[in-house]
Chains A and B, each alone.
Chain A
Amino acid sequence: MRRAVLLSILGLSIASGLAAQTRPVVIGGKNFTESYLLAEMLAQILESRSVTVRRQTGLGGTLVAFQALVSGEIDAYPEYSGTISQAIFQMEGDPNEAELAAALTPLGVELLPALGFNNTYALAVTSETAGQYGLERISDLADYPGLRFGLSHEFRDRSDGWPGLKRSYDLPQDSSGIEHGLAYQALLEGDIDVTDAYSTDGDLLRYDLVVLEDDLEFFPSYLAMPLVRADLDPDIKTALSLLSDTLNDATMRALNAEVIVEEKSFAQVASAFLLAQGLIDSGEIESQGLWPTLGRNTLVHLKLTGIAVLLACLTGLGLALSVYRSPSLSAGVLYTAGLLQTIPSIALLALLIPIAGVGQVPAIIALFLYSLLPIARNAITALVTIDPLLRRVAVALGLTELQQLRHVYLPLALPHVLAGVRIAAVVSIGTATLAAFIGAGGLGEPIVTGLALNDTGLILQGALPAALLALCAELLFEGLERWLVPRHLLSAQIPG
């Protein structure tokens, strides 16, 4: 079993090494429906032109995706003008495309022409409310002071949200705060009359809501546009530009709704749209079945945790052996490892992006750092607590230092050390699901996608195998302990 796992890890590493040599174009995307869909469209356009594509979707946030692009981990991903100006560059006002392009050039990044829709903030009302008061534009709202505004907390706080909107349109109403996820329900049940939304949200269609026109053009524009690396092959840039001006707000909203309401796959929705636009020749989707996807995710997951835990074993044991004779050094090592452990995993992954980029390398580094504490702590504790009489006897009998370690200290420490590795492995398998946020893949991928789509089934496709894998790790180590450690030492050492 142990050998099989090692062999499969080895095989996987070789396979990924070969894949790297063919240099596929890597299309990235963030972890919400629209970004998955746009990334899928970009990928299919290239694939229909016989370009090998790798998808790196579900990246956990703007900074992760943009950093991945700048560092060359991905070659392109869909972004929004407002996000580029506000979140990436903290620019003032509403810069035009030329200004954005100028800011991006020094980083080796290019803007492709805008896709045509503007996914900005919007105010939405039910169709009944719109009919009752004859609402079409935001300025119409000023005439009805009795309308109740239930707005998301972020929108109420942002200067380009409610405070500025109220001032610009001279709206007489006050607003109350509500969780965005609950707002549509409250709207339908008549608890509130107006809420904020993203203009291309598929839920607007699902609930038959009316988006009011921003007639004073108050909201900054969030025009969707692909960002690409400047050094990308010009032919590929040209191909990706084909998507420009093919999508307006209503089309995008409808496509999003197809995914979240009709539960079609990203690939299906994207190919149907591209086919209708004449951007691809055939709508044949290479849809991967559940099992191959599951198998691939599981292998990546095993690779991430396997390498990390193996490295942590070597380092942790090495550290333990070099410090256990000195109480102050031991305390120092445990303190440092403990400190690493307290950094929340998402924060650690984010902190690693500037150093190690995105993808599997930072994920392995993070998992390695987390695994270090249980392994080092258990190894040091085990070595320090070896019966002093046994130490004295080992020395007095004439065992060399190496022989003392090999025949006495390590075998006596083994139950504790194995218990530490076991904890590290199980915790790593759980934590590695978060690595999908930085594009490392694994069983976190369906979880991240499932979270974006609010799709429990998809979440379970990641969560269940991860739980099973953790269970297998438990059993594997239990077997190892039984095999390697005499029973009477085991029962005394394994903490309940």
Chain B
Amino acid sequence: MSIDLATVRRIAHLARIDIDDAALAPMAGELNQILSWVEQLAQVNTDGVPPLTSVVDAELPRRADVVTDGGYPEDVLANAPQAEHGFFAVPKVIE
């Protein structure tokens, strides 16, 4: 499987990372190099092998339904690049 420029563009868009047109081809080269290297896994027979879900062999812990957190909007907004009237402010979605 080899990635073409259109695929790099599509992945970059999915990941919301702007890539200059000039940088697309080198990036495709690097990604293809890595992908062709990891494709060695195809050699491993994994028939009937379950995927590893967690190395921790324990029950999923559950929290009691009690309000123990929140109530500090200043702390939540403290690092915001832009906040107005208690809201985070972001550029509008442009259609």
Chain A partners chain B: no
Which A residues form the contact surface with B (CB < 8 A)? none
